Amino acid sequence: MDKRFFESTRGQIVTILRGSPCTVDELAEKLNLTDNAVRAHLATLERDGVVRQTGLRRGPRKPHFTYALTDDADKLFPKAYDALLNQLIAVLKTRLQPAEIEDVLREVGRAIAADVSPGKDSSLENRVQTALKVLEAIGGAAEAEKHGDKILIKSNGCPLAAAVNVHPEVCRLAETLIAEVVKAPVVERCDREGRPKCCFEIDAA
Protein backbone atom coordinates (compact mmCIF):
# COMPACT_ATOMS: atom_id res chain seq x y z
CA MET A 1 0.00 0.00 0.00
CA ASP A 2 2.81 2.44 0.94
CA LYS A 3 4.71 1.60 -2.26
CA ARG A 4 1.66 2.29 -4.43
CA PHE A 5 1.03 5.57 -2.64
CA PHE A 6 4.58 6.85 -3.11
CA GLU A 7 4.44 5.96 -6.81
CA SER A 8 1.33 8.16 -7.21
CA THR A 9 1.46 11.90 -7.88
CA ARG A 10 0.40 12.70 -4.31
CA GLY A 11 3.04 10.34 -3.01
CA GLN A 12 5.66 12.11 -5.11
CA ILE A 13 4.51 15.47 -3.70
CA VAL A 14 4.87 14.10 -0.16
CA THR A 15 8.36 12.80 -0.97
CA ILE A 16 9.44 16.18 -2.38
CA LEU A 17 8.02 18.07 0.61
CA ARG A 18 9.84 15.72 2.96
CA GLY A 19 13.04 17.28 1.66
CA SER A 20 11.95 20.91 2.02
CA PRO A 21 8.87 23.16 1.77
CA CYS A 22 7.87 24.11 -1.79
CA THR A 23 5.50 26.45 -3.58
CA VAL A 24 2.91 25.31 -6.11
CA ASP A 25 5.13 26.56 -8.96
CA GLU A 26 8.12 24.61 -7.67
CA LEU A 27 6.11 21.41 -7.34
CA ALA A 28 4.59 21.90 -10.80
CA GLU A 29 8.05 22.26 -12.31
CA LYS A 30 9.46 19.21 -10.53
CA LEU A 31 6.50 17.02 -11.47
CA ASN A 32 5.85 18.48 -14.94
CA LEU A 33 2.25 19.30 -14.02
CA THR A 34 0.06 22.37 -14.31
CA ASP A 35 -0.38 24.65 -11.30
CA ASN A 36 -4.06 23.73 -11.10
CA ALA A 37 -3.28 20.01 -11.03
CA VAL A 38 -0.80 20.52 -8.18
CA ARG A 39 -3.31 22.65 -6.25
CA ALA A 40 -5.93 19.90 -6.57
CA HIS A 41 -3.53 17.30 -5.13
CA LEU A 42 -2.44 19.68 -2.35
CA ALA A 43 -6.08 20.33 -1.43
CA THR A 44 -6.64 16.58 -0.97
CA LEU A 45 -3.44 16.19 1.04
CA GLU A 46 -4.42 19.17 3.23
CA ARG A 47 -7.85 17.66 3.81
CA ASP A 48 -6.21 14.39 4.88
CA GLY A 49 -3.94 16.21 7.33
CA VAL A 50 -0.73 15.34 5.47
CA VAL A 51 0.23 18.79 4.13
CA ARG A 52 -0.17 22.34 5.46
CA GLN A 53 0.62 25.87 4.35
CA THR A 54 3.70 27.14 6.17
CA GLY A 55 4.27 30.69 4.95
CA LEU A 56 4.84 32.99 2.00
CA ARG A 57 7.75 33.25 -0.41
CA ARG A 58 8.37 36.28 -2.60
CA GLY A 59 7.68 35.86 -6.27
CA PRO A 60 8.33 38.11 -9.30
CA ARG A 61 4.74 39.40 -9.25
CA LYS A 62 3.17 38.27 -5.97
CA PRO A 63 4.03 36.14 -2.91
CA HIS A 64 3.47 32.38 -3.12
CA PHE A 65 2.36 30.06 -0.33
CA THR A 66 4.83 27.38 0.66
CA TYR A 67 3.66 23.90 1.64
CA ALA A 68 5.24 21.45 4.07
CA LEU A 69 4.38 18.12 5.68
CA THR A 70 2.48 17.91 8.95
CA ASP A 71 3.79 15.91 11.90
CA ASP A 72 1.25 13.17 11.13
CA ALA A 73 2.75 12.68 7.67
CA ASP A 74 5.75 10.97 9.25
CA LYS A 75 3.56 7.90 9.79
CA LEU A 76 3.38 7.40 6.01
CA PHE A 77 7.07 6.65 5.66
CA PRO A 78 8.30 3.08 6.07
CA LYS A 79 10.30 2.38 9.20
CA ALA A 80 13.09 -0.12 9.77
CA TYR A 81 12.00 -0.89 13.35
CA ASP A 82 11.20 -4.56 12.64
CA ALA A 83 14.63 -5.23 11.16
CA LEU A 84 16.35 -3.35 13.98
CA LEU A 85 14.43 -5.25 16.67
CA ASN A 86 15.27 -8.57 15.03
CA GLN A 87 18.95 -7.69 14.88
CA LEU A 88 18.96 -6.44 18.47
CA ILE A 89 17.45 -9.67 19.80
CA ALA A 90 19.80 -11.74 17.62
CA VAL A 91 22.77 -9.96 19.19
CA LEU A 92 21.32 -10.37 22.70
CA LYS A 93 21.01 -14.11 22.07
CA THR A 94 24.75 -14.32 21.48
CA ARG A 95 25.47 -12.63 24.83
CA LEU A 96 22.66 -13.57 27.20
CA GLN A 97 20.89 -16.69 28.43
CA PRO A 98 17.22 -17.17 27.38
CA ALA A 99 15.98 -16.24 30.88
CA GLU A 100 18.03 -13.04 30.79
CA ILE A 101 16.63 -12.09 27.38
CA GLU A 102 13.10 -12.63 28.70
CA ASP A 103 13.91 -10.40 31.68
CA VAL A 104 15.09 -7.66 29.30
CA LEU A 105 11.92 -7.91 27.18
CA ARG A 106 9.71 -7.79 30.25
CA GLU A 107 11.61 -4.77 31.54
CA VAL A 108 10.94 -2.99 28.22
CA GLY A 109 7.23 -3.81 28.60
CA ARG A 110 7.21 -2.37 32.12
CA ALA A 111 9.01 0.78 30.95
CA ILE A 112 6.45 1.40 28.19
CA ALA A 113 3.56 0.80 30.60
CA ALA A 114 4.98 3.28 33.11
CA ASP A 115 4.23 6.14 30.69
CA VAL A 116 0.60 5.18 30.11
CA SER A 117 -0.63 3.51 33.28
CA PRO A 118 -4.20 4.71 34.06
CA GLY A 119 -3.70 4.40 37.82
CA LYS A 120 -4.78 1.91 40.46
CA ASP A 121 -8.10 3.62 41.23
CA SER A 122 -9.53 3.23 37.71
CA SER A 123 -11.84 0.31 36.92
CA LEU A 124 -10.58 -2.85 35.27
CA GLU A 125 -12.69 -1.99 32.22
CA ASN A 126 -10.95 1.39 31.90
CA ARG A 127 -7.54 -0.23 32.33
CA VAL A 128 -8.35 -2.77 29.59
CA GLN A 129 -9.37 0.07 27.27
CA THR A 130 -6.07 1.81 28.02
CA ALA A 131 -4.21 -1.41 27.14
CA LEU A 132 -6.05 -1.56 23.81
CA LYS A 133 -5.00 2.03 23.07
CA VAL A 134 -1.38 1.23 23.92
CA LEU A 135 -1.42 -1.72 21.51
CA GLU A 136 -2.98 0.51 18.86
CA ALA A 137 -0.22 3.09 19.40
CA ILE A 138 2.44 0.49 18.55
CA GLY A 139 0.54 -0.69 15.46
CA GLY A 140 -1.98 -3.20 16.78
CA ALA A 141 -5.76 -3.38 16.33
CA ALA A 142 -7.04 -5.52 19.20
CA GLU A 143 -10.45 -5.96 20.84
CA ALA A 144 -11.51 -7.14 24.29
CA GLU A 145 -13.95 -10.02 24.89
CA LYS A 146 -15.42 -11.11 28.24
CA HIS A 147 -15.61 -14.85 28.94
CA GLY A 148 -16.79 -15.51 32.48
CA ASP A 149 -14.10 -14.30 34.85
CA LYS A 150 -11.62 -13.96 31.99
CA ILE A 151 -11.09 -11.11 29.55
CA LEU A 152 -9.40 -11.87 26.24
CA ILE A 153 -7.53 -9.20 24.31
CA LYS A 154 -7.46 -10.57 20.77
CA SER A 155 -6.32 -9.40 17.36
CA ASN A 156 -6.22 -10.87 13.87
CA GLY A 157 -2.67 -9.57 13.55
CA CYS A 158 0.34 -8.60 15.62
CA PRO A 159 2.10 -5.21 15.80
CA LEU A 160 5.42 -7.03 16.30
CA ALA A 161 4.75 -9.80 13.76
CA ALA A 162 8.05 -9.49 11.89
CA ALA A 163 9.98 -9.94 15.13
CA VAL A 164 7.66 -12.58 16.61
CA ASN A 165 8.07 -14.78 13.51
CA VAL A 166 11.80 -14.99 14.22
CA HIS A 167 11.87 -14.50 17.99
CA PRO A 168 8.63 -15.77 19.63
CA GLU A 169 9.82 -14.57 23.04
CA VAL A 170 9.01 -11.00 21.95
CA CYS A 171 5.41 -11.81 23.00
CA ARG A 172 6.66 -11.58 26.60
CA LEU A 173 7.19 -7.87 26.06
CA ALA A 174 3.51 -7.35 25.14
CA GLU A 175 2.32 -9.71 27.88
CA THR A 176 4.17 -7.72 30.55
CA LEU A 177 3.07 -4.41 29.03
CA ILE A 178 -0.61 -5.41 29.24
CA ALA A 179 -0.24 -6.85 32.75
CA GLU A 180 1.33 -3.62 33.99
CA VAL A 181 -1.45 -1.51 32.47
CA VAL A 182 -4.43 -3.64 33.58
CA LYS A 183 -2.94 -4.39 37.04
CA ALA A 184 -4.08 -8.02 36.82
CA PRO A 185 -2.53 -11.39 35.95
CA VAL A 186 -2.11 -11.85 32.19
CA VAL A 187 -1.23 -15.01 30.26
CA GLU A 188 -0.04 -14.82 26.66
CA ARG A 189 -1.91 -17.24 24.37
CA CYS A 190 -0.86 -15.89 20.98
CA ASP A 191 -1.30 -17.93 17.79
CA ARG A 192 2.07 -18.04 16.04
CA GLU A 193 1.09 -20.50 13.32
CA GLY A 194 1.52 -18.65 10.03
CA ARG A 195 0.70 -14.97 10.45
CA PRO A 196 0.94 -14.22 14.22
CA LYS A 197 -2.28 -13.27 16.00
CA CYS A 198 -2.27 -11.69 19.46
CA CYS A 199 -4.23 -13.22 22.33
CA PHE A 200 -3.80 -12.27 25.98
CA GLU A 201 -5.95 -13.74 28.77
CA ILE A 202 -6.64 -11.44 31.73
CA ASP A 203 -7.80 -12.87 35.05
CA ALA A 204 -10.68 -10.51 35.85
CA ALA A 205 -11.30 -12.24 39.18
CATH number of 144's domain: 3.30.1380.20
* The pLDDT of residue 29: 94
Residues 96 and 62 in one domain: no
For residues 143 and 165, membership in a common domain is answered with yes
> Within this chain, do residues 104 and 128 fall inside the same structural domain, yes or no?
yes
Say how far apart CA 25 and CA 64 lie, in whole Å. Answer: 8
As a whole number of angstroms, the distance between CA 197 and CA 205 comes to 25
Are 137 and 190 members of one domain? Answer: yes
Contact at 8 Å (CB) between 198 and 151?
no
Instruction: Tell me the pLDDT tens digit for each residue of 105-152.
Output: 999 999 988 888 666 668 999 999 999 988 888 777 788 999 899 999
Q: Which domain holds residue 39?
A: 2-76
Same domain, 96 and 155: yes
CATH of the domain at 6: 1.10.10.10
pTM, two decimal places: 0.66
Which ranges of the chain have pLDDT less than 50?
1
Residue at a domain's end among 50, 76, 102: 76
